[in-house]
Each structure stands twice: as structure tokens, then as C-alpha cells.
Amino acid sequence: MKHFLQTLCCISLLCVLWIGPAFGQISITSSLTYTENFNFLPTSGTAPWLNNANGSGSSYGKTGIYGVRTGTGTTIVAGTGSSNAGGLYSFGNTTTDRALGSLGSSNAAVGSFAYGIRFVNNTGKTITGFTLSYAGEQWRVASPTPNTVAFSYHTGDSTALSPNVELPGGFIPVQDLDFTSPVVTSAQVAAGLLDGNAEANRKVLAKSVANLTVLPGKEILLRWYDPDHSGTDHGMSIDDVSITFVTQDSNTPLVSTSKTTLTGFTYVENTTTSPSQNFTVSGANLTGIPGEISVTAPTNFEVSLDNATFANQVALTYTDSILTATPVYVRLKSGLAAGQYPATGTSTIAIAGSGQSTSVTVSGSVSPAPTGNEPCSAPSATISSVRSGIVGNAFTVTGRVTGIYSGTNIYIQDATGGILIYDQAGIQPEELQIGDEVQVTGTLTLYNTEKELATLTCFQKTTAGNSPVTPLVIASSDLCNHQGELVMINEDVTITSPAGATFAGANTNYTLSNGLIMRVLSSTNLSGATRPTTAFKPTGVVTIFNNGCQILPRSTDDVPGSTPLQGGSCGTASAPTDEAKLEVTNWNVEWLGNTGYGPTNEALQLANVKTVLNGIGSDVFMLQEVCSYNASNPADPATSFGSIIQGLNQTYPSRQYAGECSSRYSYSEVANPDPAGQRVCIIYRTDQITKISSRPMLTQAPVTGYPTGNNSQFWASGRLPFLLTADVKLNGATEATRMHFIGLHAKSGSDVPSYNRRVYDYKVLYDTLQSQFTNERIVMAGDFNDDVDQSITGTGQISSVKAFLYANPNTTNISDTRPNANWNSVTQIFSNSGCSSTASYPDFIDHVFVSNEILLPVSSGRAMATSVAVAGVYSLRPSISGYRNNTSDHYPTFTQLSIVEETPTPVTWLDFKGKTTELSQVELIWSTASEKNNAYFEIQRSANAQDFETIGTVKGQINATQQTAYVFTDVTPAEGLNYYRLKQMDNDGKYSFSRSIAVELFGVIKVGPNPTSGSLKIDGKQVQSIQLRTLTGQLLKKSSVNELELGDLPAGTYLLEIQTKGHSTVRRMIIKQ
């Protein structure tokens, strides 16, 4: 038996030795181009798959083509991407166009995949390079995480195509040929099949590879690797492969290297030298036998043949015409000063011999030695050793901060590597900055395949001074070798997807032209910034997500060509403060003080809210959802509101903050109101702001025809807007400026009934302000619970805040004329740029509006004697660990306003009004209280409230101390809305503007009777149609004649839309019984 087993083993070994090199190949002869469209694959059903063999009709395969897997399966499935089952696939939606692909799975029969095409050099020449192009196609989208099919190649003797690892030994990666899924699931994209032939789901990749030495009879193996990714995999495939080989006569001397660039050499100053890297040198048809090929290192580098003895130069000897691939090791010299090597330009290793030469570019850096103490009272391990440590063990490291992304994700690095510090508990030192040296103790954790230190027990600055780390210059192919480190990709790239001119406000992945993923986080000022229009070299920290490497830029400085959001900033942790400006912060603090809702740790939430407000230090805070309040003593420190005031006064003792909350909140008027309901509150500093009055608004507003039929639901069931009128006198001002601050919290919800309620509520507020607050400076801020570009209710739905946004406040058309001449949406820039104001949704709903008496501001000249203008607006991302769960689901909005006095006052405006006449003209009436050096007024008109033209002049009084009235008639106004303003001109050429007003002209159109109990008649030659709608826009009646019968409708208020040629207008109609 023993003898039989030994014989059997010998036979088996012989079989293995015979099978090993017997790989079929595609022969490359005189034709140097090979194409493969994979149309030999099955078009339906499931069939056996043959690797490296032609199919028989019932099975499928082709010589030189491979589709191997780690699982036990042996079949290929024809599909369109409709199935989420793992397997090797023939993807396609026609019978004539197929693609070889896969869908990874943990199923035992599936696993990870590798596809390959094997070639043998039968040209009789040396292959020195190739150009490869192929189409990567995505046939199924399954998750929000991109998947990547990684490309590599192998040359020389035959080797197996392994599906077990991303890069088997001897294979060379080409990151430019990696295919990353162009589509992921999102709120707009559901999981399901895709058309892989569609442009949006397909990408053609091409790259030339040089410096090869593939002798006659040797092989080139192309390999694509699609692993079983974490989570649900996309359906990925390759198609339309085309490769063209470059050859050189077999008698021409050739010297080549396996790599052309080596980057990332680094060590700490005054320690051992950098770890070595290597490349191989090959030669063919060499002359001068025996001979040598010299390898000469540049300044500050050294080379070796055994990775032990290093020198400035080494020699590779050859005794016949071929030099087999010989490794050369490279490292930085020891004893170098801290800095980048080379400091500028490039350094190259020179390889020369047999009349031939080539080179390898090298770069590296030496980091300054830690100079600080050990505040965690423990010695530090190198970051590279920690990254190789056991997950779950505790480690202490020292490094310099390279990136701060929100309050929890902080990257540090030393000379050996970088790592993410996840500060969930918020124990980081105060005022942490990039370049600070810190010591951290925490537990090594693996999160979505990224290594991080979490569950921190120590996080302290050392005594070393601030010294920002210089980004390490690397090639894109080396990205994954520098996880956690700050790098600059030394390649000019462009953004290929998604399309757009600006970066999104939410965390978004951007695919670069070299295949890399650049992830832009909302916590940076790239949120809403313009995107580069030309190629750029990106800088950022290398992160990894589900085995995919990404680069995280820290700011617009890391993306050359990008510019921050103009007029504001989205995603910064703080905003610049200026005592000479009025600063207003708007923030929904999410059920603060209510034990039943919002964050569960009430004490921590209050502490965090106070930390944020104390850090901002605004002149005015407009807060929503304050639930702990003592109306008889607003400063009561036992309440959340009083504690906030106490904290502000402790932080800024000279300012003496005061404040109050509205007495009207949701359900405050029921029999037993909840004392912990959501309130709207305002806090202000009393050293510069003097309260005149405060009150809830709209308490006497008539409510008829409310959308739900329940008038008690008006304004979020009683949560009325809150008005604070105050005189503002900033430092250095000679007089106070009267201003009105309106805080509001609208009805929440994206459902249609909630939308209709908001439409009604906002229109009543708008009408009240237009009639009662003419010529007043108003700042209106709060949680509007809707966006201003379009409603959160649905795509294409006009915003419920439309009354304040559109020239026609009654419009129902989202494409109608904007803006409303009486109001400016300060925060609309955030809506336009995709910046979000909540942690859970992509919309911006925490808005700031100002009346047109507050400018945005004019480009030249004076605005008025004392002008108030918006100077900047910021959507902040506070540096609070776990902010979303322990502080608020809304982000603060910070607005700066400049108040500029000009003396002497040229004109003191009293009023400016306009009205239509029976002759379809517009009569403009204005008056002044006094005039000084006033030459004349220019009357200016505009059709869009932006582009004004002068239509007449009226002579001024030059100097006057008494009231003066003026009249001007526009005899040729346009049909519809006409905007007017006055340009007051001094004798010395200076000028100032009045506020703008709007006058709507319908021609001679009479509507009556109004109110009516029966029929309604509209007289006007240009009337084309009339429509009657509810206050929420629901169409009730429509007519193409100038009469409507209304007797069958219930009493109430309705909207009458009159359509004329090229214009529509809306009037309110009252039906009585």
C-alpha cells in the first residue's frame, strides 16, 4: 500500500508539473493589434463556462480568455442587470452585443472574480510596450458605494490568473485603467438594472504602457479584478478591448525598467533612513559582452543590489545579450534635514549601458522630529506600526494634524504614516489646528475597511510649535500606499462625473480623469464652491472606504482653480467676526429642554448648544425649538434659555445679553398647553441693541378659507412669527438705526397638506408686512421648513415661500419672474449651490430674508443716509463630536450686516409710492423731509428689478429744510409688473438710490363685483382666460369668456388668475352668501 501511494504521488506531481505552464495564449505575430468584443458569450440562460478554451455550442469560452472566481461555480449567466444574484455574467440587452462581467457575492459558488486575456510574443521581436483601450460598463446599480474593477498586467514566463487578491506577485497595476462604477444609489437613483451601453453608465479607458522587455516566446497577461465588495455589489463588466503592441528588432539593444516613478520615501529627522523601494532593470540584445549597466542615484538618494549595502552607484553585469529582470533598491540617504527631496523639480536615477539609457524619477521627504512632550504620559509608537497592529488593542501615537473634517474626523501623521483619529466623545484639545502636534491614545478600529484610532482616552497637544505637514508628492497609482497621509497627486486631472459647475453641498464623490475618487465633504469650504474649469493637481488626505482609496481635499486651496462660494460660505466650522458689523445667528436647536423629543442627553445637548453660541458670539441670536423657558424670568438659569443667556454673559461680560421667547407656540392656546412646546426666541446684546418692543405677530389677522378648514392650525397651530423692534448702535456709530427682527418657525412636512398650510401662512405674513411695515428695515430668519429654489414637497413644485420670492406673490408658476422687489433671500445662494442646512436632508430650509431697505448692496454710489447691507452669510458646521445625535439636526446660519453712516445727509426720504391711472399710466409720488445740495431725481424703470433705465428727470430743491412732494407720470409703462426707483443726484456728481417699488398694470381691466354672491365679470380687451383657484392653488373654475358664475361655491376668499397676452396676474376674490 505504501509503495502504491508513493507511486501515485509521483504521478500526481508529474501531472501538476505538466499542467502548470500549459496555458493557452493568443499569439501575437505580424499583426500587432488584437480586439475582443465578447460577442461569443451566451445571449440567454445559464451555460457552462470554459476558461482558455473555445466553446462547443452548449458551453462558452475562447482561447486566451479567462473568467475565474474564488467560488465553486462553473457557469456563466446571460443577463441585463435585472438580477442581483452573484455570478459570472454575459451582460447585454441585445443578442449581438455582449460584455464579460460579474457581480461579486459571499455565496460559496461566487466570491471574487478576475478576468484575463493572455498573449504570447511570436513576433520574433522584443515587445517594448502596448496601448490598451476598453469600455468599462455598469449593468446594475446596487448600493451608494462605488465599486472598482482594478487592472494590472504581468510579463515574462507564464503565471496563473488568481482571483484571490487585488495584486498577485509579479503583476503591475495601472490605475488609469481601473474602472469605477459611474452610478450609485441615492435619493434619485434606486437599485436596479442599468443600460451598460448608455453613455452615463459606460466609460472608455485608454493608456499606453512603455519600458517593457517581453522577449520572443514570453507572455503578457492582462488582468481585471472585481472583488466581492463590502455590501451589495454593482454589476460590472468589460467590453470592446483593443490592444496594440510596440516592438523593437530583436538585434537592437534594449534597456528598460519595471517602474518609471518611485515616490513616498520618508523618515523622521535624526533617525534611521527611509524604507527602501525597488524596481527591476531588464536588457535584451546587449552588446559588449560581458558588460555592465550602471545605475546612478541622484543627490540625497542611494541604491543597492542586495537591500543591505547602499551606494551612490551600482553596476549590473551581464555575460550574454540578455539581462534578466534584476531588482535595484532605492532609499533616501540618512542624516538629511527636514524637507522635501528634491525641494523643486525632479530627481532621477540614471540607468545606462550597451549604448542605451533610461531613468526612474524619485521623490521623498524628511519629517521634523517631534519636539513636544508626552502629555498622554506614555511613549508613542510609530503610526505605521500601529496600522499593522492588532485591531482592538490600545495604542499611543504622536503626529501632526493634517486634516480636520467636522468635529469627529481628524487625521494626523508622522514620518511613517497617517491615521484617522475618530473623536466621538469630543475630548480633543480646544482650538485644534492643522499643523498642531498631538499625542493620542485610543483603540485601533476598522470602520468600512479604514483603520482609525477610536474610543479615545487621551487627545492632547504637545508643547511643540505649529508646523503644517508638506503634502507628499505621489503618482495616482501609489494612492493606496499612503492611506491616512497628506498627499498631492502629481498628475493634471479633470472632474469627469458628476457634471456641474459647483461642488455639491452634501458629501459627494467625484470621479477624476485618472480614475481616482475625490470625495468632497460638506464640512469644508468646497461645499458650494465653483469647480475648476481646467486641469489641476489635487491635494488631500488619503482615506479608504470599503477597500476603495479616495482623496479628501481640505479646502479650496487643495483643489486649484476652485473658488469658495461667493457672498457666503458653506461648511466651515466658524465665521470671521467683526465688532463693526451687526452679526445675526439663526439656529433651530431641536427640542432643547424637552425630555421627550430630540437628543436624549439633555445636559450634554445644552452644554453643546452653549459651546456653539459662545463660540459664535453674535449680536443677535434667533433660535427655534427652545422648550425650556420661564416667561416670568427669561434669564432663569434653571431653564435652557436662561442658561444660554448666563453662558453668553459669562463669556462676554461687557455685552450683557438679554432675550425672550414668544408667548405663542404650537397649541399654546388650547385648554392645557404643553409648557415644553417649541418656542421662537431672540437673544441680543444690550450694550449695542436697545429693545423698543416685542410681540407675537398676526394675533388679529383674519383667517378665512384655511386649507384644512381648521383655523386653529394657522401658523403651525399657533406658533406665530415673533417680532423684536430695536435700535441698533454699533461701536463708533453716531446714531442708532431702527430695525425689526422677525423670528419664525413654519409648519414642517413635505406632504401636500403641510405645503398648503405654509403657502397660506406665508402669504398672510407677506401681506401684513407689505401693508404695515412700509420702508422698514427687517431681518426675518428662522426654520422656514421649505427651500427657496423649489419646494421640498416635490421636484418642480414652487416654494411655499413664494410670496417673498416672486414678482407676483400670488403666482403658482415656478418659472415666473423673480425676485420680489421688496425682499431679498440672503440664503438663496446656499439653495442654488446645493448646501444643506440640516444633517439629515439635502435641502436648505433655515433661511434669512431681508427687506429691500437692507441692500445686497448696490455696486456704486450711496444707498441712503444710513445704509444697512448684507456683508456675508455662512452655513456653519460646528466642531462638536456627535453633533447630529447630541446637539441638533440643524446647522446654524450666521449673517453679517454692515451699517454705514454718511453725513451730511443729501436727502431724507419720507415715502415713495406708485399707482395706476384710468389711462393705463403709472403715477409715481414721493416726498423728502429735507434736501442738501440736491440737483435732480432720475426716475428709473425695470422689467426684472435688476436692469434699470432712466425714463425721466425731476428737478430737486437743491437745499430745503421742509417737506417737499414730487410727482412723475410714466405714460408708457409695460403691461404687467413695472419696477421703479429714484436716483437722487447731487450737484457734485454724487448720488443715492431710493428703495425699489413695483406697480402692476393690467391695461384697463375691471373686475367686479368684489365681494360677490353670484356672477363675476371681467372687462378688458386683452383678457384671454380667467381661472378661479383656492388659496393653495387648486383650480376650481376656468373660462375663456369674461364671466364666471360663482353662486355654487361656499363663502370665503379665493384667487382669481387673469391671463392676458404674455402675462398673468392674480387677484383676491371674496364670495359672500
Q: For all residues of the chain together, what is the average pLDDT?
A: 88
Q: Which run of H or E residues covers position 385? A: helix 383-387
Q: How far apart are CA 336 and CA 303, in angstroms?
A: 16
Of 839-848, 879-888, 1016-1025, the range with the highest mean pLDDT is 839-848
3-state per-residue secondary structure call for 218-282 = CEEEEEEEECCCCCCCCEEEEEEEEEEEEEECCCCCEEEECCCEEEEEEEECCCCCCCCEEEEEE
Question: What's the grid cell of residue 679?
Answer: 418656542
Percentage of the chain lying above the pLDDT 90 cut: 55
**Is pLDDT of 870 > 90?**
no
**Is pLDDT of 837 > 80?**
yes
Q: How far apart are CA 99 and CA 240, in angstroms?
A: 8
**Is pLDDT of 786 > 90?**
yes
Which class would CATH give 1006-1071?
A: mainly beta
- Asked if residues 163 and 111 have their Cβ atoms less than 8 Å apart, the reply is yes
Which class would CATH give 254-367?
A: mainly beta
Q: Which pLDDT score, from 0 to 100, does residue 22 have?
A: 45
What amino acid is encoded at 667 in this protein?
Y
Across 941-952, average pLDDT: 88
Q: Are strands 301-304 and 347-353 parallel, antiparallel or unpaired?
A: unpaired
Query: Pick the residue with more confidence: 88 or 883?
Result: 88
Q: How far apart are CA 154 and CA 924, in angstroms?
A: 83
Across 654-681, average pLDDT: 92
Q: Which pLDDT score, from 0 to 100, does residue 1054 have?
A: 81
Q: Can you spell out the DSSP letters for 844-874? A: --EEEEEETTEES--SSSB--SEEEEEEEEE
Q: How far apart are CA 218 and CA 159, in angstroms?
A: 11
Q: Are strands 620-626 and 657-661 parallel, antiparallel or unpaired?
A: unpaired
Query: Pick the residue with more confidence: 567 or 595?
Result: 595
Across 797-816, average pLDDT: 95
Max alpha carbon distance in the chain (Å)?
128
pLDDT digits (tens, 9 = 90+) for 116-142: 999 999 999 999 999 999 999 999 999
Rg of the chain (C-alpha set):
36
Give 7's pLDDT tier (boundaries 50, 70, 90).
Answer: very low
Burial of 535 (C-beta count, 10 Å sphere; 0-12/13-18/19+): middle
Q: Which pLDDT score, from 0 to 100, does residue 1073 have?
A: 67
Give me the count of residues in the chain: 1073
Which class would CATH give 470-556?
A: mainly beta
Q: C-alpha angle with apex 1033: 1030 to 1038, nearest 5 degrees?
A: 75
What amino acid is encoded at 791 in this protein?
S
Question: What's the grid cell of residue 274?
Answer: 527611509
Q: Which pLDDT score, from 0 to 100, does residue 16 have?
A: 31
Dihedral in degrees, nearest 10, Cα atoms 392, 393, 398, 399: -30
**Separation of first and last alpha carbons in the chain:** 112
Q: How far apart are CA 202 and CA 757, in angstroms?
A: 45
Q: Which residue has the cell 451582460?
A: 91
Give 90's pLDDT tier (boundaries 50, 70, 90).
Answer: very high
Across 221-248, average pLDDT: 94
| 704-712 LR contacts (CB < 8 Å, sep 24+) | 704/1052, 704/1053, 705/1030, 705/1031, 705/1052, 705/1053, 705/1054, 706/757, 706/760, 707/753, 707/756, 707/757, 707/759, 707/760, 707/1030, 707/1031, 707/1032, 708/753, 708/756, 708/757, 712/669
Q: Same CATH fold, 1006-1071 and 907-1001?
A: yes
Q: Which pLDDT score, from 0 to 100, does residue 855 have?
A: 65
Q: Which pLDDT score, from 0 to 100, does residue 998 have?
A: 82
Q: C-alpha angle with apex 972: 971 to 976, nearest 5 degrees?
A: 120
Give 31's pLDDT tier (boundaries 50, 70, 90).
Answer: confident
- Asked if residues 434 and 413 have their Cβ atoms less than 8 Å apart, the reply is no
pLDDT digits (tens, 9 = 90+) for 324-364: 889 999 999 999 988 889 988 889 999 999 889 999 999 88
Of 3.40.630.190, 3.60.10.10, 3.30.450.70, 3.40.190.10, the CATH number of 571-900 is: 3.60.10.10
Range 21-248: architecture per CATH: Sandwich (2.60)
**Is pLDDT of 19 > 60?**
no
Of 58-62, 912-916, 917-921, 929-933, the range with the highest mean pLDDT is 58-62
| 1034-1041 LR contacts (CB < 8 Å, sep 24+) | none
Q: Which of 333, 348, 349 is nearest to 266 (CA)?
A: 333
Query: Pick the residue with more confidence: 344 or 8?
Result: 344
Parse the chain into domains and list their residue ranges: 21-248, 254-367, 370-469, 470-556, 571-900, 907-1001, 1006-1071
- Asked if residues 935 and 985 have their Cβ atoms less than 8 Å apart, the reply is yes
Of 1.20.140.10, 3.30.565.10, 3.50.50.60, 2.40.50.200, the CATH number of 370-469 is: 2.40.50.200
SS3 content of the chain, % helix, strand, coil (to 5): 10, 45, 45
pLDDT digits (tens, 9 = 90+) for 312-321: 999 999 988 8
Q: Can you spell out the DSSP letters for 48-110? A: EEETTS---SSSEE-TTEEEEESSS--EEEEE-S-----EEEEE-SSSS--EEEEE-BSSTT-
Q: Which pLDDT score, from 0 to 100, does residue 687 have?
A: 93
Across 1020-1042, average pLDDT: 79
Query: Pick the residue with more confidence: 875 or 506?
Result: 875
Give 685's pLDDT tier (boundaries 50, 70, 90).
Answer: very high
Q: Which of 385, 412, 524 is nearest to 467 (CA)?
A: 412
Q: C-alpha angle with apex 398: 394 to 404, nearest 5 degrees?
A: 95
Question: What's the grid cell of residue 149?
Answer: 474593477
Q: Which pLDDT score, from 0 to 100, does residue 908 have?
A: 72
Across 967-988, average pLDDT: 87
Burial of 145 (C-beta count, 10 Å sphere; 0-12/13-18/19+): buried
Q: Which pLDDT score, from 0 to 100, does residue 785 have?
A: 97
Query: Pick the residue with more confidence: 900 or 310?
Result: 310
Q: Which residues pair with 851 in a beta bridge?
A: 823
**Is pLDDT of 721 > 80?**
yes
pLDDT digits (tens, 9 = 90+) for 494-547: 999 998 888 887 788 999 998 899 999 877 888 888 899 999 999 999 998 877
What amino acid is encoded at 327 in this protein?
P
- Asked if residues 112 and 105 have their Cβ atoms less than 8 Å apart, the reply is no
pLDDT digits (tens, 9 = 90+) for 607-617: 999 999 999 99
- Inter-helix orientation angle 640-651/602-616, to 10°: 40
Q: Which pLDDT score, from 0 to 100, does residue 1064 have?
A: 64
Q: Which pLDDT score, from 0 to 100, does residue 856 have?
A: 47
What amino acid is encoded at 1008 in this protein?
G
Q: Which pLDDT score, from 0 to 100, does residue 1021 have?
A: 59
CATH number of this structure's domain 907-1001: 2.60.40.10
**Is pLDDT of 33 > 70?**
yes
Neighbours of 488 (CB within 10 A): 16
Q: Which pLDDT score, from 0 to 100, does residue 849 have?
A: 96
For residue 673, say if its preceding peptide bond is cis, omega within 30 degrees of 0.
Answer: no
Q: How far apart are CA 746 and CA 787, in angstroms?
A: 12
- Helix, strand or coil, per DSSP, at residue 1003: coil
Q: How far apart are CA 496 and CA 513, in angstroms?
A: 6
**Is pLDDT of 1002 > 70?**
no
Q: Which pLDDT score, from 0 to 100, does residue 429 have?
A: 86
Q: Which pLDDT score, from 0 to 100, does residue 493 have?
A: 95
Q: Which pLDDT score, from 0 to 100, does residue 858 have?
A: 35
Q: C-alpha angle with apex 574: 467 to 420, nearest 5 degrees?
A: 50
Q: Which of 676, 645, 650, 638 is nearest to 660 (CA)?
A: 645
Q: Which pLDDT score, from 0 to 100, does residue 1016 have?
A: 81
Give 976's pLDDT tier (boundaries 50, 70, 90).
Answer: confident
Give 729's pLDDT tier (boundaries 50, 70, 90).
Answer: confident
Q: How far apart are CA 272 and CA 285, in angstroms?
A: 40
Q: How far is CA 270 from CA 266, 274, 382, in A?
A: 12, 11, 15
Q: Which residue has the cell 456627535?
A: 882
**Is pLDDT of 5 > 50?**
no
